[in-house]
Amino acid sequence: MFRNFKSVNKCAYGRGSFDKLGDILAEKRETPEACMVFLVDEVFKGNQPFIDRIPLLDQDLLFWISVSEEPTTDLVDGLRDEILEKKGLPAGVIGIGGGSVMDTAKATSLMLTNEGSSTLYQGLNLIKKPGIYHVGVPTISGTGAEVSMTAVLTGPEKKLGLKCDWTVFDQIVLDPDLIETVPTNQWFYTGMDCYIHCVESMTGIFKNTFSEAYGWKSLEMCQDIFLNSEDGRSAENEEKLMVASYMGGLSLTYSEVGVCHALSYGLSKIFHYHHGIANCIAFNQLKDVYGEYVDEFHAMVEKHNIDIPQNLSANWSEDEIDQMAEVAIRLEHMWIHAFGHNWKEVLDKDRIKGWYRRM
């Protein structure tokens, strides 16, 4: 399979990098009036020391982004319209937050130059024009959204990414200082997104030596962080997690996710579970597919005393289980990756429903 993808153009890594963001942006302001748009996770609202570090000039715009729901096509279309109305085309968009805010920034950059609703562009290579300069600053690590070529949006009909070369960030700033305030349960759920990306990437047919180099290394770092070290949230481990997330994302670009992500999409679509926790709910029950990795996951859950929701299916109707299975079974590329081109010989909707019933 021929794969030829764009990478993030520039990557700053290290503690204190966030304080260089003003200098980085200055180079991209072609006139003194050039406007930058900052999309910032609402969790930082009221956190004055943090706000003081955002290099906001008088002409810039700042939007607080609520992440109580994962990003929607409506959110992005609304941001685009408001920005164009207030400022015309800005010089850049900067997303400061987790996967939700980074995906919102990637999508907003694209929608500022592509007409109509973002629902028109959910899919591969549907975007017609390059977006504007965009920067990602993760404040929680695991999704790999900082490095991936997709911006996942929930629309009225589907949860699907705007995926093309232009989606990829022009610049990312990886500053491990920024992730220290993440609550432990969330640290674990989003961190496990990275662990699961690696497990899935490394256990399917689409992997190659290139994705393996990133995938095995990232997996090893996750094991160090979540299992083998005394203190999972040590300064060194926060640094490792930022790099593991980046490498897990790169591994996936050159491979594919698998069973857990297919099931997780069903959970998110029907019951609106967020990505990280949905993955944990699903992976918890996938011993028959991912074997020792699921044992290892259980050990990590126990070590950090994390709450993974269980016995959910007791409250699900047969129809809801059927709807989730329908969402999952359509993700054919994930099943091919996990079970091979003859996946229909080992998998049908009943097996998928069986997994949901265990959750």
Smaller CB distance to ligand NAD: residue 253 or 285? Answer: 253
Where along the sequence are the contacts to ligand NAD (CB under 6 A)? 41, 43, 67, 70-71, 97-101, 103, 139-140, 142-145, 148, 150-152, 178-179, 181-182, 186, 190, 193, 274-276
Interacting partner of 145 out of Zn ion, ligand NAD, none (Cβ under 5 to 8 A depending on kind): ligand NAD
The torsion angles phi and psi of 357, rounded to 5 degrees, stand at -65, -25
296 binds Zn ion (CB under 5 A): no
Q: Collect all residues with Cβ–Cβ distance below 8 Å to 70 and sequence separation of at least 6.
A: 100, 152, 154, 159, 268, 272, 274, 275
Site of tokens 């997709």: 150
Return the structure tokens found at 171. Answer: 């610049």
Interacting partner of 70 out of ligand NAD, Zn ion, none (Cβ under 5 to 8 A depending on kind): ligand NAD
Closest distance to Zn ion from the beta carbon of 296 (Å): 18
Closest distance to ligand NAD from the beta carbon of 153 (Å): 8
193 binds Zn ion (CB under 5 A): yes
Helix axes 235-253, 209-223, angle to 10 degrees: 150
Distances from the Cα of 328 to the Cαs of 133, 265, 338, 348, 357, in angstroms? 34, 7, 13, 11, 14
Smaller CB distance to Zn ion: residue 131 or 249? Answer: 249
Report how many residues bind Zn ion under the rule CB under 5 A: 1
Smaller CB distance to ligand NAD: residue 139 or 285? Answer: 139
Closest distance to ligand NAD from the beta carbon of 147 (Å): 8
Of 153-161, 185-193, 284-292, 315-323, the window that binds Zn ion (rule: CB under 5 A) is 185-193
Closest distance to ligand NAD from the beta carbon of 44 (Å): 7
Smaller CB distance to ligand NAD: residue 55 or 276? Answer: 276
Interacting partner of 301 out of ligand NAD, Zn ion, none (Cβ under 5 to 8 A depending on kind): none
Closest distance to Zn ion from the beta carbon of 230 (Å): 28
Closest distance to ligand NAD from the beta carbon of 88 (Å): 28
Closest distance to ligand NAD from the beta carbon of 34 (Å): 27
3-state DSSP percent of the chain in helix, strand and coil, to 5: 55, 10, 35
Smaller CB distance to ligand NAD: residue 143 or 201? Answer: 143
Smaller CB distance to ligand NAD: residue 36 or 43? Answer: 43
Smaller CB distance to ligand NAD: residue 145 or 327? Answer: 145
Return the structure tokens found at 348. Answer: 């049908």
Smaller CB distance to Zn ion: residue 17 or 279? Answer: 279
**Letter for the amino acid at 24?**
I
Query: What DSSP element (H or E) covers 196?
Result: helix 184-202
Please return the burial class of 279, using the count of CB atoms within 10 Å of its CB with bins 0-12, 13-18 and 19+.
buried
Closest distance to ligand NAD from the beta carbon of 167 (Å): 8
Closest residue by Cα to residue 245 from 177, 193, 200, 186: 193
Beta strands in the chain (DSSP E): 10-13, 36-41, 61-65, 92-97, 123-124, 134-138, 150-154, 159-163, 171-174
Of 106-114, 155-163, 186-194, 208-216, the window that binds Zn ion (rule: CB under 5 A) is 186-194
Smaller CB distance to ligand NAD: residue 92 or 136? Answer: 136
Closest distance to Zn ion from the beta carbon of 219 (Å): 14
Return the structure tokens found at 320. Answer: 């809801």
Interacting partner of 43 out of ligand NAD, Zn ion, none (Cβ under 5 to 8 A depending on kind): ligand NAD
Q: 177 with 19: CB under 8 angstroms? A: no
140: left (phi over 0), alpha (psi -120 to 50) or beta: beta
Q: DSSP characters for 138-174?
A: ESS-SS-TTT-SEEEEE-SS-EEEEESGGGS-SEEEE
Q: Which residues bind Zn ion (CB under 5 A)?
A: 193
